[in-house]
């Protein structure tokens, strides 16, 4: 019974709130509606606040309260998880109020909305790339901002996600025995992220892939392909002379040299 009573009370309260909002929304007193929009916003009832702000804009545009209302309007979308519309509104805020003290914050929030839309690794990373571009633009435009450090951190996280996606794609080629494609893909990861902590691992995977590719090749193609492995091993030793993978790379080099000796007899 208590649950039923609680449910009925909740329904009555929601109905009462809805009726109250309906009366406010239908009011022709736009100053009162502005006041209630601010109140709903403070109470974190962003849905009602959003509707009221949007309704009063034609009447307050050009007034001193318009900037603050637009700012809260953008955040009303953001706080409801509608990052697509929030991004557009933060962008519009910067364009409409170019000298506003809130401009820097909204510039950051625009980029942050793209970051919030950055999907899982397996999905299209358009928003991740967009985040990197906009966050870098923010840093360049506001070098002294307290948000610059956070922007740089977000760029790093986005790059790590892109790096992981590229590596996963290369790994898939390898697991499917498409070794030439895997070698090229691992090489691209290495080239695209030269400062990565895993750069030597990517190069090792290039060597492994070319070694596997040589092994499954026809005998007339094996000489040049094992020579390719040896060249990659030499490049590895030069670039990563303190890598923990040096011993493993040396084994691939030795095995490739042994195969070449037998092939050239």
The full set of domains in the chain, from first to last, is 177-265 (1.20.58)
Question: Could you identify the residue written with the tokens 């571009």?
Answer: 133
How crowded is residue 148: how many other Cβ atoms within 10 Å of its Cβ?
A: 17
Tell me, what's the pLDDT at 224? 93
pLDDT in tens, the chain (265 residues): 455 545 444 444 445 456 788 888 888 889 999 999 999 999 999 999 999 999 999 999 999 999 999 999 999 999 999 999 999 999 999 999 999 999 999 999 999 999 999 999 999 999 999 999 999 999 999 999 999 999 999 999 999 999 999 999 999 999 999 999 999 999 999 989 988 999 999 999 999 999 999 999 988 899 999 999 999 999 999 999 999 999 999 999 999 999 888 877 6
**Axis-axis angle for helices 103-116, 148-175 (nearest 10):** 20
Tell me, what's the pLDDT at 25? 83
At a CB cut-off of 8 Å and minimum separation 6, what does 113 contact? 78, 83, 84, 86, 87, 90
Question: Could you identify the residue written with the tokens 């809130």?
Answer: 102
Q: Which of 147, 149, 143, 83 is nearest to 110 (CA)?
A: 83
At a CB cut-off of 8 Å and minimum separation 6, what does 30 contact? 56, 59, 60
Tell me, what's the pLDDT at 26? 87
**Cβ–Cβ under 8 Å, residues 150 and 131:** no
CA distance 157 to 162: 9
């Amino acid at each position: 019974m208590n649950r039923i009573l609680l449910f009925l009370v909740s329904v009555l309260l929601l109905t009462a709130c809805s009726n109250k909002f309906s009366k406010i929304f239908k009011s022709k007193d736009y100053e009162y509606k502005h006041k209630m929009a601010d109140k709903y916003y403070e109470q974190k009832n962003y849905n009602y606040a959003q509707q009221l702000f949007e309704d009063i804009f034609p009447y307050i545009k050009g007034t001193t309260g318009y900037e603050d209302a637009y700012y809260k309007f953008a955040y009303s979308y953001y706080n409801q998880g509608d990052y697509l519309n929030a991004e557009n509104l933060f962008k519009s805020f910067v364009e409409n109020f170019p000298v506003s003290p809130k401009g820097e914050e909204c510039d950051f929030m625009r980029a942050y909305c793209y970051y919030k839309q950055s999907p899982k690794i397996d999905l299209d990373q358009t928003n991740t790339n967009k985040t990197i571009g906009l966050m870098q633009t923010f840093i360049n435009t506001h070098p002294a901002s307290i948000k610059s450090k956070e922007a740089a951190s977000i760029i790093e996280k986005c790059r790590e996600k892109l790096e992981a996606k590229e590596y996963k794609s290369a790994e898939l080629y390898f697991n499917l025995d498409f070794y030439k494609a895997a070698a090229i893909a691992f090489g691209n990861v290495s080239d695209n992220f030269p400062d990565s902590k895993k750069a030597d691992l990517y190069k090792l995977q290039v060597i492994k892939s070319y070694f596997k590719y040589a092994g499954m090749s026809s005998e007339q193609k094996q000489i040049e392909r094992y020579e390719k492995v040896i060249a990659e091993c030499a490049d590895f030793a030069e670039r990563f002379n303190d890598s923990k993978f040096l011993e493993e790379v040396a084994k691939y080099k030795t095995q490739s040299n042994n195969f070449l000796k037998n092939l050239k007899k």
